[in-house]
Amino acid sequence: MASPSNIVQGMSGSGGRGRAGASAISRASLAPFYLLGPAYLWLLLTIFLPLSAMLLFSFLSVAPFGGREAEFTFRHYAAFMDKEFYRTLTWRSLKLGLDVTFWCMVIGYPAALALARHVPGRWREALFLLIVLPFWSNALVRIFSWTMVLRGGGLIDQSVQVLWPEAPSLGILFSYPAIVVGLVHSFLPYMILTCYLSLQAIETSLEEAALSLGASPLTVFRRVTLPLSLPGLLVGVVLIFVPVIGSFMEPRILGGPEGIMLGTVIEDQFTVVFNWPLGAALSFILLAIVLLLMAIAAPVLGRPLAAATGR
Amino acid sequence: MAPILLRSVLVLVLIFLYLPLGVMAVMAFNQSPLYAMPMVFDTIWFERLAGNERLVGAGLNSLAIALANTAIATALGTMAALAFQRYRFRGATLLQILLLPPITIPWLIIGTAMLVLFFWTGIGRGLHAILLGHVALSLPYVIVVVGARLRSFGVTLEEAAATLGAGPWTTFRRVTLPVIAPGVVAAALFAFAVSFDQFVISYFLAPPGVSTLPVEIYSAIRKGFTPEINAISTVIILVSMGLMLAVARFYRFGGER
Amino acid sequence: MSAVEVHETVKRYGAVAALDRVTLRVAEGEFFGLLGPSGSGKTTLLRAIAGFVMPESGEIRIDGQRIETVPVHKRGIGMVFQNYALFPHLSVFDNIAFGLQVRGIAKAEITERVAEALRLVRLSGLEERRPRQLSGGQQQRVALARALVTRPKVLLLDEPLGALDKRLRQEMQVELKQIQRTVGITTLFVTHDQEEALTLCDRIAILSEGRLMQIGPPAQVYEHPQSRFAAEFLGEANLFCGSVERGAAAGGKVRTTAGVAVESALPPPDGEAILAVRPEKIQLVDPAKDAPARANRVEGRILRSIYSGSSIAYRIEIPGQELTVFEQNRAAAPRDAGAAVTLFWAPEHSIWVTP
């Protein structure tokens, strides 16, 4: 019951008392801004100013270095619209994102379910750690390790040739599937992590209640467990899809000539072709796609972050 | 039936996750530079590694940047976490939303944007620029991890210290800091890992002739790899995993300490 | 001079008044209870005295000095928190020594005073333990020792026994009272447990929705509640509402709409009033027997009984309403539901309260 007295208790009682108390001590003080200043100045210099500079850059005809005069132009954005190449490229990156996310979902959710529901407690923590561990090890090195396995004459080929020496090479290195395998390997732990956390948060008594009401285990999963764990799945989807469409190192190493994506083309603009304004424009188109996705997913994404930072 | 099926998915996932790392580690001990089978055990590639000045130099750069990043990000992030958890002020929500871009915008975009601005303003490329970028990426993690620890303890302990006569600074030094120490250590290890493993940002901000370990490895892979890369990669994997095991220890068991 | 003085203190959260012009004085050495339901403002008042809540207006004095602008750590208070707030990273010794250390007191004296404080709460020998190695009762005592060792002017207790189970709670009540007497410290004690307040406090203040309802010694507040809220919050009360009639002598009477007339020996106050009667003041007899003269007498029928060992609570239907009556468990068996009974009580036990 939300009576006025309850609201007061909420503010002076255990829940909100901390903030009320702390703010009373430091009322009208500038302390929080001194504390936040250094961190946010840093972020301003390294995130927000660069993004603004790049937006500006994407409208310049040439990079304004070495005395060159730059003019304001929509040319790079127009190029994106006109040329079939860029649209194909964007579609390739999006398709890669969809494929990788799909496989992460299909493999990751059941794995998370198994971990959360069918692994005894003392094993669960260790297994969870084992799954998350690779995620925090070097991404580049992990992608590199797949070249050992996927290359012609690599582990797969050699295993097969032990049984059938004349077998043709099955090496799939430098192909689209190789990129997908490498990226799924990179991001699968993310999906398992987010799904597992939201599955863990479901009170088992809810599932027990559904069983006691006569629902079969499958119905319980369909009507209780799955809907309640959906936010975790969705967070996983966004957190995988976004970096995958911006990937360039993985397609480069595992895809070879097949690995041309929006990301690799942007990389080339900055490191090989030195057409920075075009690179900036392509980066911004990528960013626009990302922001659009985030805006759609914001209600779901906001909650875990809010929980973590305290709002 | 279903549990068995689910458990086997879990087992397959673990094999999938560790198989390539295992192959890479084993191949680092293969004498043949062409990874020929049957394997002949040798530590030659690790010896070569020790003599490879480029890789060792890059490794030292990585280490120096990771350490500096850890110190800066942990200090600034802990301060910000304190502000969020212990004060109420206008704009707090907006400031917290601003922590999202460094985590969620693809590094490719952030890295190229930094390149543009730093080049333009004269900050330039180099280790200092890489450090600037790494701290930006680490800050949100530190703020979240330390913030969670601060929040789980609430302000009662600090209030108790005040009633016992401790001023704000004494309270911070003798109560708040010791109590959140496990969270701060976990955050510091996180920051170290973020920096030590970071490739994309470093790649765009490294001028010719200066590089970090991942950047050096990337160019080596693109030139055609050698087993030395296997050896250094194996070392990196072991270091990062050891680091994260340490994080897990502090983060998980920290609560009861 | 009062040790603690609160004068016309107001604190609002938005439109809601957590403290609505509260005024009270706590005497030197007094054990003073702040009693009220959740959200009554009792915790806010305690926290305002401690310095965690800034009142909007009014005055708060400790030892005659205004302290509204004094920061918490300079107010010279001792406080025991609901969950004790023991520092988890410090030993029992260091927890208790904390307040002395921040005051820069010499090591030898600290050791001596901590030992003395531990003796006071009977925990000598546990100096090196960590808080989590202690039982709830022991943690509570460490918190008390920590609050007392700095010799504060006032001791503030925020539901200090709330986290203990019933038996331990009763033990600690006795001990807390004893320690408070020994030290002679002025103590403000917040609780929502009426029995605890009645047992421990020299005087209690009842709060409701930020307002002070009544102040007085426990027996006075219990026997003579001034308001319906006080009557119902502290213990149970049967209420008789209806038209008030001034009696011929000193007393008065209420006639309910169902026609039941209840007499009081006390004169009715001006304005609206109702009569409250405590359930244990009512006696039950078989209808055949006579009630004493001058007593209020009502015929009723037992609806149900609630057995609780030493006493039995009966719910009884009388014309127009139901009453609760407590009877000592003296008979061989509880009275049967449906049985007719006669209820009587002395007019002295009908208390006028404001609605």
Average pLDDT for residues A286-311, to the nearest whole number? 69
Q: Residue B82 pLDDT > 60, yes or no?
A: yes
Contact assessment for residue A126 and residue A119, using Cβ atoms and an 8 Å cutoff: no
Contact assessment for residue C305 and residue C314, using Cβ atoms and an 8 Å cutoff: yes
Between residues B252 and A298, the one the model is more confident about: A298
Q: pLDDT class for B225, splitting at 50, 70, 90?
A: low
B160 shares contact with chain A (CB less than 8 Å) = no
Contacts (Cβ under 8 Å, ≥6 apart) of B116: A50, A53, A54, A57, A276, A280
> Least CA distance to A9: which residue of chain C?
C39
Pick B159's closest partner by Cβ from A21, A252, A287.
Answer: A21
Which pLDDT score, from 0 to 100, does residue C62 have? 92
Distance CA A282, CA A285 (A): 5
Residue range C252-274, pLDDT digits in tens: 888 888 888 888 888 888 888 88
Distance CA C346, CA C348 (A): 5
Q: In this complex, do B164 and C98 lie within 8 Å of one another by their Cβ atoms?
A: yes
Q: pLDDT class for A258, splitting at 50, 70, 90?
A: confident
A69-83, B159-173, C36-50, C298-312: segment of lowest average pLDDT: A69-83
Between residues B250 and C76, the one the model is more confident about: C76
Chain C residues in contact with B165 by the CB 8 A cut-off are 73-74, 76, 99, 102-103, 150
Q: In this complex, do A25 and C52 lie within 8 Å of one another by their Cβ atoms?
A: yes
Which pLDDT score, from 0 to 100, does residue B1 have? 47
Residue range B88-120, pLDDT digits in tens: 888 888 898 888 888 888 999 999 999 999 988
Contact assessment for residue B186 and residue B244, using Cβ atoms and an 8 Å cutoff: no
Q: In this complex, do C53 and A20 lie within 8 Å of one another by their Cβ atoms?
A: yes
Average pLDDT for residues B186-213, to the nearest whole number? 89
Strand-pair category, C261-264 with C274-277: unpaired
Distance CA C107, CA C112 (A): 9
Q: In this complex, do A22 and B117 lie within 8 Å of one another by their Cβ atoms?
A: no
For residue C188, what are the CA distances in angstroms to C30, C50, C63, C338?
Answer: 8, 11, 14, 47
Query: Which of A12, A140, A239 to mutate against chain B (most B CBs within 10 Å)?
Result: A140
| Predicted TM-score (pTM) of this structure | 0.81
B172 shares contact with chain C (CB less than 8 Å) = no
Q: Residue A19 pLDDT > 70, yes or no?
A: no
Which pLDDT score, from 0 to 100, does residue A209 have? 85
Which pLDDT score, from 0 to 100, does residue C14 have? 85
Which pLDDT score, from 0 to 100, does residue B18 have? 92
ipTM of the complex: 0.88
CA distance A130 to chain B (A): 8
Distance CA A164, CA B149 (A): 57
Contact assessment for residue C152 and residue C185, using Cβ atoms and an 8 Å cutoff: yes
B141-B146-B151-B152 Cα dihedral, nearest 10 degrees: 110
B255 shares contact with chain C (CB less than 8 Å) = no
User: What are the residues of chain C with a beta carbon less than 8 Å away from any beta carbon of chain B?
Assistant: 50-52, 71-79, 81, 83, 85-90, 98-99, 102-103, 132, 146-147, 150, 156
Neighbours of chain C (3+ CB pairs under 8 A): A, B
User: How much is the mean pLDDT over chain A?
Assistant: 80
Which pLDDT score, from 0 to 100, does residue C308 have? 86
Contacts (Cβ under 8 Å, ≥6 apart) of A42: B76, B132, B135, B136, B139
Q: pLDDT class for A153, splitting at 50, 70, 90?
A: low
C208's tokens: 């409701």
Average pLDDT for residues A230-250, to the nearest whole number? 89
Which pLDDT score, from 0 to 100, does residue B252 have? 57
Contact assessment for residue C34 and residue C207, using Cβ atoms and an 8 Å cutoff: yes
Average pLDDT for residues C38-55, to the nearest whole number? 91
User: How much is the mean pLDDT over chain B?
Assistant: 87
A163-172, A179-188, C166-175: segment of lowest average pLDDT: A163-172
Which pLDDT score, from 0 to 100, does residue B255 have? 39
Q: Residue B249 pLDDT > 80, yes or no?
A: no
Question: How many other CB atoms sit within 10 Å of the CB of residue A288?
Answer: 10
| Range 16-75 of A in CB contact (< 8 A) with B | 17-19, 21-23, 25-26, 29, 31-33, 35-36, 38-40, 42-43, 45-51, 53-54, 57, 64-65
Which pLDDT score, from 0 to 100, does residue B160 have? 94
Which pLDDT score, from 0 to 100, does residue C131 have? 92
Chain C residues in contact with B170 by the CB 8 A cut-off are 102
10 Å CB burial of residue A292 (0-12, 13-18, 19+) is exposed
Contact assessment for residue C47 and residue C98, using Cβ atoms and an 8 Å cutoff: no
Tell me what percent of the residues of chain A surpass a pLDDT of 70: 80
Which pLDDT score, from 0 to 100, does residue C133 have? 92
B139 shares contact with chain A (CB less than 8 Å) = yes
Between residues A273 and C6, the one the model is more confident about: C6
C257's tokens: 């709409």
Phi, psi of A72 (to 5 degrees): -75, 130
